[in-house]
Amino acid sequence: MATPATPGPLLRASVYEELRRRFVTGKIMPGSSLSTRGVAQELGVSQMPVREALSRLAAEGAVEIRSKRRIVVPLMTVDRFKDLLRCRELLEPEAAAAALSHIDAPRLKHLRAVDDALGMALKSGDVTGYMEGNFDFHFSIYRAQPRRTMTQLIETLWLQFGPYMRVVYGRVGTASLVDQHQLAIRAIRERNSTRLKRAILADIRDGMGLIGKSGFEAGA
């Protein structure tokens, strides 16, 4: 049994995954500082697994470790935005197309249920619900394909833009978003990879377009 001083692999993995999910769903704000001690107290663990998790997140570009006590979530810049957008445009439609033949009836049913919940979040302006549902929708598709490396690369991109997207949605709301997921579901049902790639690409550009229109002021 692992002790707080020597955390086992399951504990380290759970701390990392919890922090990772907070980033991709925008629960950690850009420009904010993180304290290893504060995060450890919040999660009810020792500082060691938190420190290890933050080191991994730093390697993935989600945080910047400026000293032992100063860990910062970076702000968005024009160059960083363009780089993230281009990488998402290249990877995510391809991942969706690769997943198409692996999406069975239960997974398709799950995607429909998630999209229904997303529709309610859009109407009510529930930013947190939308962020969590949007992540669930996309990765329920991407994780169906066997290329684990591709999925990991996409997750790394989401780590970097998730915090900023949450701020943008909080400022401009979700009412202006178009539900491209319906088109994606239809393409999956029809087994049409071209339309699925087109729907995923349009969804990326709709969401990332809000960041561009914000003028990179949110969170600055």
Q: In angstroms, rounded to a whole number, what is the distance separating the alpha carbons of residues 90 and 195?
A: 15
The alpha carbon torsion through 166, 168, 174, 177 (nearest 10 deg) reads -110
Buried b (16+ CB within 10 A) or exposed e, 49-88: bbbebbeebeebebbebeeeeebebbebeeebbeebbeeb
- The mean-pLDDT minimum among 5-19, 119-133, 165-179, 191-205 falls in 165-179
Burial of 170 (0-12, 13-18, 19+ CB in 10 A): middle
**Do both 37 and 125 map to the same domain?**
no
Neighbouring-strand partners of residue 33: 72
Residues 53 and 158 in one domain: no
Q: Where in the sequence is the domain holding 167, given as residue range(s)? A: 78-213
Structure-token pair, residue 51: 């420190």
Residue 4 lies in a domain: no
Using the 8-state DSSP alphabet, how is residue 83 labeled? H
Residue 218, pLDDT > 60, answer no
Dump pLDDT digits (tens) for 130-166.
889 999 999 999 999 998 999 999 999 999 988 888 8
Whether residues 52 and 97 fall in one domain = no
What is the pLDDT at residue 48?
A: 92
pLDDT of the residue at 144: 97
In a shared domain, residues 145 and 174: yes
To the nearest whole number, what is the mean pLDDT of the chain? 87
Report pLDDT digits (tens) over 16-75: 999 999 998 888 888 889 999 999 999 999 999 999 999 999 999 999 998 777 899 998
> Average of pLDDT values for 80-98?
95
Identify the DSSP state of 62: S
CATH code at position 108: 1.20.120.530
H helices present in the chain, as ranges = 9-24, 36-43, 47-59, 78-99, 105-124, 127-142, 148-172, 181-190, 193-213
Residue 2 or 105, more confident: 105
Question: Which pLDDT score, from 0 to 100, does residue 176 have?
Answer: 61
Give dist(CA 14, CA 116) in Å, integer: 29
Q: Structural domain tally of the chain?
A: 2
Q: Sorting pLDDT into bands at 50, 70 and 90, what band is 219?
A: very low
Question: What CATH number is attached to the domain comprising 45?
Answer: 1.10.10.10
User: What does residue 174 show for φ and ψ, rounded to 5 degrees?
Assistant: -110, 0
Tell me the percentage of the chain whose pLDDT exceeds 70: 89
